[in-house]
Amino acid sequence: MAIVLKRSMIGGGKVSRKRQERTTRESALRTSRLSCTEDGLATSVTMVGGRETRKINTYQALRDAYLSAVVFGVFRCTMGLGEDFALERVFNTPLTEQGIVGFGTGLAATGHTAIAKIQFADYILLAFDQDPAKVRYCSGGQYNIGGLTVRTPTMSVVWTGGFYYSQSPEGFFMDAAGLNIVILRSLIKAKESLLSSIRDSNPVVFTEAKILYRSACRYQVPIDHFSLPLKHAETLIPGNDMTVLTWRNPAYHCEMAIHMLANPPPSIEQHILSSLRSIKTELIDFRIILPWNIVTVTESVSRTGRLVIVHEADWTLGVGTEISAQIQKRCFSKLDAPVWHVTSWE
């Protein structure tokens, strides 16, 4: 039986007239810094590569993944699932991250599939003492917590930021033995990645980019239930001169920067040296932070001789720091320059 836990939205008050005017359907679907060439928002079934697909966006793809296991959460990702599966499986919880993860850990330990939703990744720190990653080892294998997936949205700049809604805490989990950490970047990968996380034998922290929830981009996503092993990075753009490793929302900025370097618009053309326009940059989407695919990265860096790591979290003790240390050790003789980081301000 699959159980879904979601943080209840407690509170009220009237929404200001200015806010009401701002959140029209058009403004809600419009996403800054993301663009899409596909027209229309049709959800009719289309055959692609011999599989039935329909054009959906990120939160709809995540909801589809729930249909095969469990469900819960805010941002409309669980919309209607309570009616579909009954409130015994999809229900609100008190406003306590500690309780949400603790309840999910208990359910997973007793053989259920549980998806616990932390509304913002900034608050996941409050659940650290539940320690689901170590339950299997502390119990000598008597309790398997592989049925637990914790979904949480991270930084990915949106207008509702602020002190407690703008962090990318994935680095905190790098030293948590027994956890897998998945980073969602692509709309098309949302359903696939969540299904893979649900079916994985380890507890998974599934991080999502807030900016993608209401992206105007929609893509054809297979209707059936499909997944891939949580172990591979994805090469988005092949190249031989430099490797750029990134994940989540910065992948879009890196892709745009690579394109603009090769084809600068008139407004910046005079500032781009002609010798730089021929640089062939390889862009890799990390996808899985733990266990991370070191083979893909080392093979690329051994070929290009240069590595730039781009992520939203801080530089100090961030995920990029560990990657940099491993690459310096494994590719030392192949590097033409020190590994460089492009990160959030500290």
CA neighbor of 130 nearest in space, from 164, 153, 155, 107:
107
> Could you give phi then psi for residue 73, rounded to 5 degrees?
130, 170
End-to-end CA distance of the chain: 44
Residue 269 has pLDDT above 50, yes or no: yes
Cα 139 from Cα 126, distance rounded (Å): 23
Strands 90-93 vs 51-56: parallel, antiparallel or unpaired: unpaired
Residue 70 has pLDDT above 90, yes or no: no
pTM of this prediction? 0.76
Output the pLDDT for position 88: 66
Chain CA centroid to CA 44, Å: 26
Could you give the 3-state DSSP secondary structure of residue 75? coil
Cα 114 from Cα 265, distance rounded (Å): 49
Under a CB-based contact definition with an 8 Å cutoff, are residues 183 and 245 in contact?
no
Q: Enter the DSSP assignment of 255.
A: H
Confidence band, pLDDT 50/70/90 cuts, at residue 42? very low
Under a CB-based contact definition with an 8 Å cutoff, are residues 121 and 73 in contact?
no
Confidence band, pLDDT 50/70/90 cuts, at residue 27? very low
Output the pLDDT for position 337: 96
Q: Highest mean pLDDT range out of 28-32, 76-80, 249-253, 282-286? A: 282-286
Average pLDDT over residues 228-246: 88
Strands 2-7 vs 113-117: parallel, antiparallel or unpaired: parallel
Average pLDDT over residues 233-253: 93
* Span 156-196, pLDDT tens digits: 555 556 777 778 888 888 888 889 999 877 766 777 788 88
Cα 11 from Cα 215, distance rounded (Å): 27
Neighbours of 325 (CB within 10 A): 11
Helix axis angle for 294-304 and 319-330, nearest 10°, is 60
Which CATH code fits 2-8+19-222?
3.40.50.970
Do the domains at 2-8+19-222 and 234-344 have one common CATH topology?
yes
Neighbours of 39 (CB within 10 A): 7
DSSP one-letter string for 14-49: PPPHHHHHH--HHHHH--TT-----------EEEET
DSSP one-letter string for 289-342: EET--HHHHHHHHHHHS-EEEEEEEESTTSHHHHHHHHHHHHSGGG-SS--EEE
Cα 114 from Cα 91, distance rounded (Å): 12
What distances in angstroms separate CA 76 from CA 145, 173, 174, one per listed residue? Answer: 26, 27, 29
Percent of the chain with pLDDT over 70: 66
Confidence band, pLDDT 50/70/90 cuts, at residue 224? low
Confidence band, pLDDT 50/70/90 cuts, at residue 295? very high
Average of per-residue pLDDT values in the chain: 77
Give 234-344's CATH code, choosing from 3.30.465.10, 3.40.50.920, 3.40.50.740, 3.40.50.300. Answer: 3.40.50.920
Residue 29 has pLDDT above 90, yes or no: no
Chain CA centroid to CA 344, Å: 17
Residue ranges of domains in the chain: 2-8+19-222, 234-344
Which residues lie across from 56 on neighbouring strands?
A: 219
What are 116's two structure tokens?
Answer: 């616990």
Cα 111 from Cα 106, distance rounded (Å): 9
Output the pLDDT for position 126: 92
Instruction: Tell me the helix, strand and coil percentages in the chain, rounded to 5.
Output: 35, 20, 45
Output the pLDDT for position 185: 77
Average pLDDT over residues 294-321: 94
- Look up residue 270 and give its amino acid: Q
Neighbours of 35 (CB within 10 A): 11
